[in-house]
Amino acid sequence: MNGNIRRVGVVGGGQMGAGIAEVCARAGLDTVVCEAGATAARAARERVAASLDRAVERGKLEAEAARDALARLIFTGSLEDLSDRQLVIEAVIENADAKTEVFTALDKIVEDPAAVLATNTSALPVMRLGMATSRADRVVGLHFFNPVPVLPLVEVVTSLHTAPDTIATVEGFAARTLGKTVVHSRDRAGFVVNALLVPYLLAAVRMAESGFATAADIDAGMELGCAHPMGPLKLADLIGLDTVASIAASLYDEFKEPLYAPPPLLQRMVEARLLGRKTGRGFHVYGQE
């Protein structure tokens, strides 16, 4: 099937799911996005439309290509609409139960036994999601980076059960169809990027928590002193503090390294729904987007 994937499904239309759906539609693929009900499906469509508008404004995309991409996308509230897909990418909340539920359902719904079921998880074991299906050989990690239309990397994550032709299929899809650069990782919490990135983000949270420096100075330090495009606390706000905390918890659960343990300030902010950009306030305050 390598190279012939034309019908893609995306489960979840949040910032990652919407971004993945956008790059699939921009690559000319027939793309169905499934959200939890009609209201969430409408919000997902608006998210993609806003990002396409931004791409046009910044001269990255012709207005006509943006219109065509949006026309290729179908938004639905029903997983059943993914039955004819050749590849489904799950991008729901970073929670083991929620993701397992999606894989169990997809296993029953997606008709083609050769279809690939991929997860955009950042840190949960791909193996466990595979084991929730009757086709663990067709289950693989396909991990994108936020903002998906901008960042060129995709991590391909192989579980102990993933078949070599499943890996070849998603690698061809990510590299040739989407034009992304692929790196490979074994199925260990955090894979390559988050295993390195998250302890750094947590160190910045601890630095702010201890009063050692302000959030603004911590970010300015890494932006101006190390040429990072955004400082660690702005980046944590972009990723979503709930997602950062979930990834940290998975890393800690896997390796039991104290550096991976989510600091109390992060936990409190998540409980307070100060999740970063998506709720308007995290370590920084954001206007209506």
> What is the binding site for ligand CAA (CB under 6 A)?
51, 54-55, 58, 60, 122, 145-147, 149-151, 194, 197, 229-230, 235, 239, 243
**134 assigned to active site:** no
SS3 281: strand
Q: Cβ of 194: how many Cβ atoms within 10 Å? A: 25
**Annotated active-site residue in 143, 159, 246, 250:** 143
194 classed as catalytic: yes
What's the closest the beta carbon of residue 152 comes to ligand CAA, in angstroms? 10
Q: Which of 51, 120, 185, 194 is catalytic?
A: 194
122 as an active site residue: the answer is yes
Closest distance between ligand CAA and the C-beta of residue 126, in Å?
Answer: 14
Residue 99 sits at the vertex; the CA angle it makes with 238 and 260, to the nearest 5 degrees, is: 50
> In this complex, which beta carbon is closest to ligand CAA, that of residue 55 or of residue 266?
55
For the question of residue 159 being annotated catalytic, the response is: no
CB 17 within 8 A of CB 91: yes
Cβ proximity of 131 and 145 under 8 Å: no
Phi and psi (nearest 5°) for 84? -100, 15
Contact status, residue 7 vs residue 36, Cβ threshold 8 Å: no
The CA-atom distances, in angstroms, between 32 and each of 11, 47, 83 are: 8, 15, 10
Give min distance, CB of 26 to ligand CAA, in A. 8
CB of 280 to ligand CAA, least distance (A): 17
Q: List CB contacts of 225: < 8 A, sequence separation 6 or more.
A: none
Nearer to ligand CAA, 88 or 236 (CB): 236
Catalytic residue among 35, 90, 155, 171: 155
- The catalytically annotated residue of 122, 185, 246, 250 is 122
Catalytically active residues, by annotation: 122, 143, 155, 194
